[in-house]
Structure 1
Amino acid sequence: MTVETSARHARGAGPPLPRELALGLALFALYCLVDLLPAGGRTEAAEANARALYAWERSLHIDLERPLNTWLAGHDTLTVLADYEYAVTYLVSTGLMLAWLYLRRPDRYRAARTCFALVNLFSVAVFALWPVMPPRLIADLGFVDTVVAEGTWGSWGTPLVDHANQLAAMPSLHVAWAVWVSAELARAGAGRATQAAGALHVLVTVLVIAATANHFLLDVVGAVAVVGAAMWAAGRPARARRRVRPPDAFFLAVESARAPQHIGGLIMLDAPDGSVRAAELAAVVRARLDGLPRMRQRLSAPARFRRPRWVDHPDLDWDWHVTAVTLPPPGGDERLAELVAALQDEPLPRDRPLWRLIAVRGYAADRTAVVFLMHHAVADGMGVIAHALRLADTGGVDLPTAPRPRNPLATAIGLVQLAADRRPRKAPPVEPHPGRRSFAGFRVPLPEVRHVARRHGVRVTDVILCAVVGGLLRAGPGPAGPTLRVAVPLMTRTARTPPEGNHTAAVMVDLPCGPMAEAERLGLIAAATGKRLRTGTRVLASAFVMRRLTRVLPPPVHAAFARSVYGGRSFQAVVSNLPGLDATVTLAGAPVLAAHPIVPTAKGAPLAVGALGWNGELDFGVSVDPALVADAGTLCRAMTDVLRELSSGGTGTRTPAHVA
């Protein structure tokens, strides 16, 4: 999808119309099912309940139905009009309201539709559990059945809808729908005349349902109560949307002082050193802030048994969020990598929005670097790219999506596979190292990597994984065991996914670490990933666990679960291959030349590698703990050697060795 399309979705474009129509049909079918309940004693119970309501009204001296009914029955024309008002206007007004919201106020439609659906669901539940007969069907109460007397076409009780539920007086759906329409007009900010018309419709409907003996006045009270309950319940999802979602809270739980969980990118701009200043970046962010809610929200105060919420934080500390840093002479890649590593090691404070933009001067005479950081609780890798593209001048960029159909059977198979997947054999513990992680980036031509993949019959991800393992064996002691278990995040974003939030699923793959030719290693890796990545069952299952299953876990249990499955107990490295983008992008007026991903490591998993295709190049970002490799730059050079060997078709066996 394009960035512009994504922005429209973020502003609240209406959901697919066929789905909405299907929802309406489902509600109507549920209503009809109540009428199919075994008659048994329902009719007697409904009459008894009706008599009890009427007796209660008389005790309260509000039994106005009989006088109104007697008066209306003496005016034939008014009776016909009242019967048709009862049969038609609630349907027309509700239909017009839903259509108007869908077409003209999509930002309000979802909440209003949810409220309307709940009105009907609550009402149907009352119909099923506590049936009430309308007063016109109780002969000895003396009411005139105006529907039968005038033969109103299309009204309840006439031949056209003689299948309608006749024991559903409490609450009055006619009044409930009218009240809902009036309430939504007010919430949508309709004009005074329109709101007055809505209120008048409610009053007329109340008079009509009582005068035609279709309902008791207490049914009106029930209708108002149902609408109130539905509005309260419908508001809960809106409030719940401010709650941090379980997949996002996952990364709050696994964060530690040793492994902060912010991700981002090192963006290289074609601009003279220092020409893109912090003030210009801040102006760009200010201009686009309304479309990026998480960049103006922070986390609420923590609570042990409740997930935090995203709360508005209007007073942004711009001097902290958007800053400028000057590298000490002579600048260059090494100094820039040291800065990125230092920023990675500095947790983002949770008392403010969880993002930063740092303009870096002193890197090179003709370039400016920008470091964009965002907490993993805010967005995943593609989400950070989506945020960055919203801030940039793109001219319309197609963001890759990977729609994955909801397949219950495949998800069930994947859950069994995940349960059967054994954890890696416990390797000798890595001795803690007092030094901080290091970072480095490099790039290789994407066509060359694709050529290697085609020649060996594998995927680009397999080539990247081979470069990681082969590079580790060349750059340092390498993994302690015969295999390296890698968490490979796979995108589950669809065309309608907003930029915020985590929409990935991680699949674990065991990579061979023995001494062998890299071409042979690549073949073994392709065989391993083919079983785990290409079938999609584990992806569906992982996404189900992250998004659905963890919803039922109390926050402390969910946090404990996250810490138990994310890190050295389950994998030793994270390798993310982000789909490529081919687009001309400028940031603050300067063309973007490269974007090296910044991927966080996990506790006990000292390596994180990100790869991003960008205009014909594959940009890498490597973060590594010194306990595994002394320097990320050394690892990057070793990975380049592996890619070069695969590209040249070399088959010589490589034994683990340090790179000088």
Structure 2
Amino acid sequence: MAGRERMASMDAAWLQMEEPANLMMITAVLWFDGAVDLERLRAVVRERLVERYPRFRQRVVPGPLGGPHWEDAPDFDPDEHLSTLRVPEFADHAGLEALVGDWLGVPLDRSRPLWHFHLVRGAPGGDVVLARLHHCIADGIALARVLLSLTDPVDAGTVPETWDESPEAVMPSEVERRPQAPGWLRMARGARSALRKGAEMVREPILAGDLVREGAKGAAALGKLLVLPPDPRSPLRGPLGPRKVAAWSSEPIELERVKAAGRALGGTVNDVLLTAVTGALRRYLGSREAPLEDVHALVPVNLRPLDVPVPRELGNRFGVVFLRLPVHLAEPRRRLREVMKRMEHLKRSPEAVVTSGVLELLGRTPAALERAVVDVMGTKASLVATNVPGPRQPVSLAGSRLQGLTFWVPQAGHVGLGVSLFSYSGQVTVGVASDASRVPDPGALVAAFHAELDALATLAP
């Protein structure tokens, strides 16, 4: 057993959650201006990924009592985790989306370290890197930071800015400065012990924005989650199949346009984006003649300070909140105000910490029990929504300028729809990944999102 390290319980939870029709895999699509040099890309991956973070050269093996462990992969060759693909010669943007959708349903090889990069040649405009990484390695916010650490600023005279921090400093809390008890124990003691004065403010990397975890007892928040009724029946919910589909903006959205709409309507960038997502769901459900009822989005919330480097051991450190999207409201301005009201309520909620503790506890339970609990929680939401800010300035990877990026986290609990928003160099890209049996035409949701942003932009103050 020499050289083996027990997997953290929350990481194990994501490993155990995986099923053939519901892979626990984080997928990123990066597109470039022109060709990417394969040998330079290999060198960057080797130096900045494999040599910096041990998890990328380790595989998962069962431990002496059955729990998963990390072990250095024998005869590990990083080049075996970087392969090339080619889209058909006359493929357009839709052809690239189809290729990515196909790979969303392909599991990673568990006999090897759980990641793979595909360099896609022949895509319209330039080469594409398709990155697939298992959630047991780390959470989405950490892996996004890791991927961006592979890049360099385009202007050699500028300071590398690989993460879009909020203007205010992110101060570690009293909890951050001392060794922490396991999440399940923190939850058992009640959220008060983990949420004392000076609680860490989670900056804006995830749609929930700045969540201040104050005061309320974790038991009350957990009870509220357990009695939350299932989401209404709709085309968004139901059994999942093996085929996945994906779509994203072929033309990115100017971030300044979103900010201008927020200034005019009295909301933040996140408020405007969430309102556009809600309106897009309303349009989509209406086109399917489905009831226009409110649905919940599972929103990951970062619990790791962004002012410190991602640790070498990576891992998962996040929670989720259930955000009820006001789909029933037809008027965009009223919808925006309701989104702001519900977001304000979540900012005072300890839900994220509570769900983090639940995930850590589930990682210690048998896989069958964990799946049953996750499935019950999954009935209470219809989609997963994430929003991650990237670099403010243009960056390059292996000498090629990055034009844009989109990514998706897994949809646990048999949720069949993921909506991702990623900002980079003054632009926002919306991406939709879904189970083909639930949302077979994700491009329709992307188009509806753009239409909703247009509607918000034309509203008078």
Fold shared per TM-score above 0.5: yes
Shift of 1:245: 1.5
Selected match of 2:161 from 372, 397, 400: 397
Q: Give, in angstroms, the shift of residue 262 of structure 1.
A: 1.1
Unmatched 5+ residue regions in structure 2? 154-158, 176-193, 197-213
Counterparts of 2:376 and 2:136, CA distance in 1:
17
Structure-2 change in CA distance of 1:457 and 1:504 (3 Å) = farther
* Corresponding residue number in structure 2 for 1:460: 269
Matches of 1:316 and 1:478, distance apart in 2? 52
Assess if the C-alpha contact under 8 Å between 1:585 and 1:591 holds in 2: yes
Match of 1:523 among 337, 345, 349: 337
Misfit runs of 4+, over 4 Å: 317-320, 401-404, 429-435, 478-481, 555-558
Shift of 1:480: 5.0
| Structure-1 residue corresponding to 2:10 | 247
Corresponding residue SS for 1:291: coil
- Cα distance in 2 for residues equivalent to 1:647 and 1:249: 44
The counterpart of 2:323, out of the listed 485, 509, 529, is 509
Would the aligned equivalents of 1:600 and 1:623 in 2 still touch at CA under 8 Å?
no
Quick one: which of 540, 560, 577 aligns to 2:387? 577
Q: Highest Rg: 1 or 2?
A: 1
Q: Which amino acid aligns with 2:83?
A: T
Equivalences for residues 338-417 of structure 1 within 5 A: 338-364=98-124, 366-394=125-153, 396-397=160-161, 399=163, 400=165, 405=173, 406=175, 407-408=194-195, 410=214, 413-417=217-221
Query: Which residue in the other structure is 2:228 paired with?
Result: 423
Q: Determine if contact 1:254/1:559 at 8 Å carries over to the other structure.
A: yes
Per-residue CA distance 1:617-636 (angstroms, 9 max, x = gap): 11222112234433111110
1:541 aligned residue: 354
Out of 421, 441, 447, the residue aligned to residue 248 of structure 2 is 441
Rate the CA distance shift 1:353–1:594 in 2: closer, same or farther, 3 A.
Answer: same
SS of the aligned residue for 2:146 comes to helix
Contact 1:324 1:359 survives alignment (8 Å): yes
- TM-superposition CA deviations, 1:72-128 (whole Å, max 9, x none): xxxxxxxxxxxxxxxxxxxxxxxxxxxxxxxxxxxxxxxxxxxxxxxxxxxxxxxxx
Offset at 1:351?
1.0
- 2:296 paired residue among 485, 495, 502: 485
- In structure 2, relative to structure 1, the CA distance for the partners of 1:639 and 1:379 (3 Å cut) is same
- 1: CA distance, partners of 2:412 / 2:290: 16
Equivalent residue runs for 1:137-286 within 5 Å: 242-271=5-34, 275-286=35-46
**In the superposition, relative to structure 1, how do residues 239 and 478 fare at CA in structure 2: closer, same or farther (>3 Å)?**
farther
Q: Do structure 1's residue 625 and structure 2's residue 389 form an aligned pair?
A: no
Distance 2:446 2:432 in 1: 7
Task: Please say if 1:300 is aligned against 2:61.
Answer: yes
Secondary structure at 2:6 match in 1: coil
The residue correspondences of 1:125-140 to structure 2 (distance < 5 A) are none
CA distance in 2, matches of 1:469, 1:369: 30
Contact 1:323-1:358 at 8 Å conserved across structures: yes
| C-alpha distance 579-411 of structure 1, shift in aligned 2 (>3 A) | farther
Match of 1:472 among 281, 285, 305: 281
Provide the rounded CA distance (Å) in 2 between the counterparts of 1:615 and 1:586.
12
Q: Percent identity?
A: 27
* CA distance in structure 1 between the partners assigned to 2:3 and 2:43 by the alignment: 31
Amino acid paired to 1:538: E
Work out whether residues 322 and 358 of structure 1, in 8 Å CA contact, stay in contact via their aligned partners in 2: yes
Question: What letter is aligned with 2:336?
Answer: L
Q: What is the root-mean-square deviation in Å for CA atoms of aligned residues?
A: 2.9
Which residue matches 1:90?
Answer: none
Larger RCO: 1 or 2 (CA < 8 Å, sep 6+): 2
In 1, the alpha carbon distance for the partners of 2:431 and 2:283 equals 18
The structure carrying a bigger helix percent of its residues is 1
- Match for 1:263: what amino acid? I
